[in-house]
Amino acid sequence: MKSFVLSAVVLAAVGASPAKAVTEVNVQNVGSIFNESIALPAEDAPGSGIGFAQFFEFSLPTTEIVTASVSDSGIGNERVIGGVLSLNTFTSSGPGPLFQPLGAFIESSPFINSLGGQSATVNPDTLAAGSYFVEVSGTSGSSPIHLAIDGTVTATQSIPEPSTWAMLMLGFGGLALFGARKRPRELAL
C-alpha cells in the first residue's frame, strides 16, 4: 500500500512539473561571401516561450570588413525575449545530432525593440580569410506564433583611409625629390 501511494505521489509530481523547453537548432550554410551582401535564410522563432538558437555558417576568401544584422516584425507579446546576434569564428561542428558550429566568440549585439519589430546589428569587424558563423538566439515571446527572422551578412574589402593615401603620396614625393636632387650632381661628374 505504501509503495502504491509513493508511486502515485511521484507520478503526480512528474505530471505537474512544467514541460522542458526544447531548443530548436537550424544550421544553414550561407556559402562564400566576397565583397557583397548575402541574405540569411529566413528562419522561424518557435511558438510560445521556447528557447532557440539558429546558426548561419559562411566563409571569406580574403580579408574583408563584415557586418551582420537581423530583424523581425515582432511587437508586444510576439517579441523575442533576450534575443542576441553574435559573430564567431568557425573551427568545428559539435557532436550530433544537432551539429552546432563551434568556435571563438568575436562580437555580439542584443535585439533592440522598435515600433515595427526588433533588430540587432554586429558592428563592422575586419576579418581574415576563413570560416565564420552568425548565431541568432533567444526565447520566443508568449504569443504562440512562429516569428520570421531575416538577416544579412555584408562583406566589403577594406579601402585605405584618406590619411593612409596622403602618407603614401608624401613618401613617393619625398623619394622623387631626393632622386631629382642627386641627378644633376651625377651629370656634372
**Count of domains observed in the chain:** 1
Q: Is residue 89 part of a domain?
A: yes
Q: Is residue 144 part of a domain?
A: yes
Q: Is residue 138 part of a domain?
A: yes
Q: Is residue 140 part of a domain?
A: yes
Domain of residue 43, residue span: 19-159
Q: Are 138 and 70 in contact (CB under 8 A)?
A: no
- Secondary-structure percent of the chain, ordered helix, strand, coil, rounded to 5: 25, 50, 30
Q: Is residue 136 part of a domain?
A: yes
Kindly state the helix (H) or strand (E) to which residue 143 belongs, with its residue range.
none
What is residue 170's predicted lDDT score, i.e. its pLDDT?
Answer: 76
What is residue 22's predicted lDDT score, i.e. its pLDDT?
Answer: 59
C-alpha–C-alpha distance, residues 171 and 166, integer Å: 9
C-alpha–C-alpha distance, residues 142 and 13, integer Å: 25
Q: Is residue 105 part of a domain?
A: yes
Residue matched to cell numbers 541574405: 39
Residue 114: CATH number of its domain: 2.60.120
Q: Is residue 104 part of a domain?
A: yes
DSSP string across 4-54: HHHHHHHHHHHHHSPPPPPPEEEEEEEEE--SEEEEEEEEEEPSSS-EEEE
What is residue 69's predicted lDDT score, i.e. its pLDDT?
Answer: 97
pLDDT in single tens digits along all 189 residues of the chain: 444 343 443 344 434 434 445 578 889 999 999 999 999 999 988 889 999 999 999 999 999 999 999 999 999 999 999 999 999 999 999 888 888 999 999 999 999 999 899 999 999 999 999 999 999 999 999 988 888 889 999 999 866 556 666 777 777 776 677 666 665 555 555
What is residue 60's predicted lDDT score, i.e. its pLDDT?
Answer: 96
Q: Is residue 91 part of a domain?
A: yes
